[in-house]
Structure 1
Amino acid sequence: MTKKAAPAGPWTDEEELECVSVLPESPDVATVCFQAPSGRPFAFEAGQFITLELPVPGGPLYRTYTISSPPSRPLSLTVTIKAQPDSIGTRWIVDNMRPGMKVKATGPAGRFTSAAFPAKKHLFISAGSGITPMMSMTGEIYDRGRDCDIVFVNCARRPSEIIFKRRLEHMATRIDGLDLKWVVEENDAYSPWTGYQGRFNQLMLGLMAPDYLEREVFCCGPEPFMQAVREALAGLGFDMDHYHQESFGAPQQPVAGLIEELMPDDDLPAEDTMAEILFDITGVTQSVPQTETVLAAARTAGIAIPSGCTFGVCGTCKVKKTAGDVHMVHNGGITEEEIEEGYILACCSNPMGKVTIDA
């Protein structure tokens, strides 16, 4: 019998993803492995993310997750997720996702990737589930089979909550140059801990990576954690051009007056000026103040535009603008090429006058 060849070309988001396994990692944390039913391989860069359309009660919910598997293993794609007490989508995955289920997805996307900043020496710093892009980057380097120079720092509340700990320790026994550093806030009961304890600080950084000035730094975790890392590095004279971070939390507020300095007042959306949006496919026209986003106007008009992060990172709400102008301040969820082709992110685009949207 002749074996049927897999379709040519990589997976695209026109095809659903099929869950093939769900692996518990630690309390409320699971790794979900997906494959393409067609057998197509996945093409992405280490550190990128994917947006899943989740069939939660009340309608589809869009959530963005970093890919934790390396691109060097393209026949499957994994996301490692942590269900917070107030999470909806992630809690649904942990409680309901089973092998054989299929979900729609968009992506991969994102610019937080080691491929964009090649270096001989890396410093990966993460906290909690922020370890996922670091796992993808480290896994790709590991799969090359060559010696490396990675200082891998992960911070967790307690040792039992360190995600991927055993897997990374196994990898470190098979390749030279993977230096693992764990930091915890407190011990597990009846379990001695001999590693770092407390909150990540400058002293720890100097002990973990004395040559940090020579390294390309990637950081991911809650915003207060990343702020502490930034301040620690800047205070030690680190060249912040070699610092890169990823977060799906709302971005920090810009410095007062910065936007006004960069853009004339006449170009900024005005609350007392009305705009008009024509949603071309549905034929609906919506009049809104310029300070209203295209996404908010669509929701008011009953038009469904998929959205995830709602502040311009994930790219889920990307739609095509066929006429008119918008004021868009995004956070990396769209490329310059896409903007030139007429695409916008509905969540962070304000209509300026009459605008036509392909929705």
Structure 2
Amino acid sequence: MTDMLIRPVTEATRTDQLDEALTCVDVLDVTHDVKTFLLAPQSPSPMYDAGQYLTLTMDIAGETLQRCYTISSAPTTPGPLAITVKRVPGGPVSNWLHDEFGPGDTIWATGPHGEFSHVRHPSGKYLFLSAGSGITPVMSMTRTLRNDPYADVVFVHSARTPDDIIFRAELNTIAAAGDASVTVICEADSPTETWQGPTGRLGLRNLLSVPDLHAREVFTCGPAGYMKAARQLLELAGIDQSRCHEELFDLAARGAAVTGETELSDTRYVVELRRSGRSVDCAANETLLQAAHRAGLTPPSMCAEGMCGTCRTTLLAGDVDMQHQGGIRQREIDQGQILMCCSKPTGDVVIDG
């Protein structure tokens, strides 16, 4: 999502926000390693746009961890919020959710966050490209657009094998009802099924076969390698890049690769992290998070783009220039809170980090 086209989310557009414990009311098996968790808020369900995500906080083995998960349900459907989670080998959060979290358990959530939504980029025609777990935000959009008789949706999903097709039965239902044109591409057969549809990986031929290709708003979500390949294919197909919107599904991986400007400014300030007892040097043109990473510190962070709110901290002294993308609310800013990932110092600062 590094190159995702983002428009700032104003307080006026965020009419409802969660900051509370959600209760799990059911767990649904989706594939052999994917589950959907139905989560009920204590208050009425928040308003959200299809494609947005929640930031979840949980204590696992004595450590507080945060992860971002797309709301896979549709805002047009009443009931609990749904997140769909793939088990990641060695992943502490996904394995905990799959093995330990169930009906009656609670989990803290904030949000919704994010600009990756057809609501933010309206069009009569859409092309959704996804791979693996990246299907969740575009599935939320597809579920929503099924209720729009004027929406023209083409959905191309890539999976490793037939056994790995997330929401397979529902995709078949959507296609059979004519609510969207659905194509699933599998890289290989599964042990129990020979795939009868397109095989291999997403290619230029798949794109060029899409009717009215250049008239569509394109939304792409999946692992980093898939995103890079899809971006190149869209460029080869001559798609207007202003109509291409991306969401890198693995926000944690994206946040780990915090990138700064090539040359750091000669203007430097001191950033004191009160709780950790450390002080770091920070250039005027780098964020507090980048400076902390450069000094070998690892404060909590995920999106690195001012969207998820994971790196929120309190500014105790000094001033910063914060250019966020909706990951913090005005009332939190009024209370002195900032996001480290999008805040640049304008002088020496002290934060509660």
TM-score range, shorter chain: 0.7 to 0.9
Is 1:99 the counterpart of 2:103 in the alignment? yes
State the alpha-carbon separation in 1 of the partners of residues 326 and 66 from structure 2: 15
CA distance in 2, matches of 1:97, 1:253: 29
In the superposition, the TM-score normalised over structure 2's length comes to 0.81
Are 1:345 and 2:339 matched, yes or no? Answer: yes
1:86 to partner: Cα distance:
2.6
Counterpart AA for 2:272: I
Residue in 2 aligned with 1:69? 73
1:206-217 matches, within 5 Å, as: 206-207=208-209, 209-217=210-218
Percent identity for Structure 1 against Structure 2: 38
| One-letter code aligned to 2:168 | K
SS in 1 for 2:60: coil
Q: 1:169 to 1:21 in 2, by over 3 A?
A: same
In structure 2, C-alpha distance between the alignment counterparts of 1:338 and 1:346, rounded to whole Å = 17
Tell me the CA shift for residue 357 of structure 1.
3.6
Q: Which moved more, 1:308-317 or 1:288-297?
A: 288-297
- Which residue, 196, 199, 208 being the options, matches 1:197? 199
Match of 1:265?
265
What is the aligned-residue RMSD (CA, Å)? 3.5
Corresponding residue for 2:162?
159
How much does 1:314 deviate? 1.9
Q: What is the aligned partner in structure 2 of residue 275 from structure 1?
A: 270
Q: What SS does structure 1 have at the residue aligned with 2:24?
A: strand
1:169 to 169, 172, 177: 172
- Unaligned runs of 5+ residues in structure 2 are 1-14
Retained in 2: the 8 A contact 1:63–1:309? no
Q: Distance in 2 between matches of 1:245 and 1:348?
A: 20
Distance 2:154 2:28 in 1: 26
Change (3 A) 1:308 1:73: same
Aligned residues: 330
Match of 2:313 in 1: 319
Take 2:269 and 2:299, find their aligned partners in 1: how far apart are those partners? 22
Q: Retained in 2: the 8 A contact 1:150–1:178? A: yes
Contact 2:269 2:348 in 1 (8 A): no
The residue that corresponds to 2:190 in the other structure is 188
Match of 2:229, SS?
A: helix
In 2, the alpha carbon distance for the partners of 1:64 and 1:255 equals: 20
How far apart, in 1, do the equivalents of 2:256 and 2:272 lie? 29
Counterpart position of 2:60: 56
Query: Residue 72 of structure 2 aligns to which amino acid in structure 1?
Result: S
Summarize the Cα distance change of 1:92–1:252 in structure 2 as closer, same or farther, 3 Å threshold: closer
DSSP-derived class of the 1:55 partner: strand
**Residue 316 of structure 1 aligns to which amino acid in structure 2?**
T
Q: Which residue of 2 aligns with 1:7?
A: none
Q: Does residue 30 of the first structure (1) align with residue 24 of the second (2)?
A: no
CA contact (8 A) 1:20 1:33 kept: yes
What does residue 241 of structure 2 align with?
Answer: 240
Higher RCO (C-alpha 8 Å, min separation 6): 2
Aligned partner of residue 62 in structure 1, secondary structure: strand
Of 318-327 and 100-109, the range deviating more from structure 2: 318-327
Evaluate the alpha carbon distance shift between residue 47 and residue 358 of structure 1 in structure 2; reply closer, same or farther with a 3 A threshold. same
- Displacement of 1:217: 0.2
Distance of 2:256 and 2:204 partners within structure 1:
23
Determine if contact 1:42/1:77 at 8 Å carries over to the other structure: no
1:236: how far off? 1.8
* Bigger radius of gyration among the two: 1
- Say which SS state the counterpart of residue 196 (structure 1) adopts: coil
Q: State the TM-score, normalizing by the size of structure 1.
A: 0.80
- Kept in 1, the 8 Å contact 2:280–2:292? The answer is no
Distance 2:332 2:245 in 1: 23
Q: Which residue of 2 aligns with 1:90?
A: 94
Q: Within 5 Å, give how 1:65-144 maps onto structure 2.
A: 65-142=69-146, 144=147
Range with greater deviation from structure 2 (284-293 or 176-185): 284-293
Is 1:289 the counterpart of 2:281? The answer is yes
Aligned position for 1:223? 224
3-state SS of 2:94 partner:
helix
How far apart are residue 113 of structure 1 and its match?
1.1
Alpha carbons 2:272, 2:351 under 8 Å: kept: yes
